[in-house]
């Protein structure tokens, strides 16, 4: 991780980049540190300053990050000092994981539940939706991706389309 030490004025940014990662320090009311594997030292024009009417330019990675945070979360943008690339990526992954659990993304199909331990021909697996609604019914079907038992109808659809079931 490169160290950026020179002092910055408002709107100024300094960059260090390695082959795979751009490290940026930018000053706008407060200091912002960012690491991005996707950006270059590019500035983009945003809006005009309300007094001077000058076009304000911001580093593209900051603009993109703000956009991302707006779509992921409605709360104010929080940028803290990020010490490592792994931490930065993890933070973004967690945020998107919250609004979009795995079960609501991708393709999931019901498959027949098999269990080698039981000698039953058609073993049943507890349905997570029914369990939550105090109906303890078992199902011959499961979602292998989520690794849960589910009745084909209506629980399978419910589980994969509703955030709160
Ligand atoms: Zn699933
Ligand atoms: Zn069910």
Please give all residues whose CB falls under 5 A of ion ligand 1, grouped by chain where several chains appear: 103, 108, 143, 145-146
Ligand 2 midpoint to CA 117 (Å) = 23
Ligand 1 midpoint to CA 133 (Å) = 19
Ligand nearest to the CA of 159: 1
Whether 137 contacts 163, CB under 8 Å: no
Ligand nearest to the CA of 165: 2
Q: What is the pTM of this model?
A: 0.40
Ligand 1 midpoint to CA 157 (Å) = 9
Ligand 2 midpoint to CA 158 (Å) = 9
Outline where DSSP puts E strands in 49-145.
55-59, 110-112, 125-126, 138-139, 141-143
Residue that has been written with the tokens 């900051």 in this structure: 62
Q: Mind listing the pLDDT tens digit of every residue in the chain (165 residues)?
A: 445 566 777 778 787 777 777 787 878 777 777 777 778 778 888 888 888 888 888 888 788 877 776 665 443 334 443 334 444 444 444 444 444 567 887 788 899 998 888 777 889 999 999 998 888 788 999 998 889 999 998 999 999 888 887
């Amino acid at each position: 991780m490169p160290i950026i030490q020179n002092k910055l004025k408002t709107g100024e940014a300094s960059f260090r980049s390695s082959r795979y990662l751009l490290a940026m320090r930018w000053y706008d009311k407060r200091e912002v540190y960012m690491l991005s594997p996707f950006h270059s030292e590019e500035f983009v024009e945003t809006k005009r300053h309300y007094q001077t009417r000058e076009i304000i330019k911001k580093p593209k990675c900051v603009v993109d990050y703000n956009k991302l945070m707006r779509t992921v979360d409605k709360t104010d943008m929080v940028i803290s000092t990020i010490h490592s690339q792994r931490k930065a990526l993890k933070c973004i992954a967690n945020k998107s994981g919250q609004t979009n659990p795995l079960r609501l993304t991708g393709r999931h199909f019901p498959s027949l539940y098999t269990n080698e331990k039981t000698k039953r021909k058609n073993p049943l697996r507890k349905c997570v939706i029914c369990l939550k609604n105090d109906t303890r019914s078992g199902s011959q079907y499961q979602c292998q991706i989520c690794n849960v038992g589910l009745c084909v109808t209506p629980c399978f659809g419910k589980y994969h389309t509703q955030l709160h079931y």
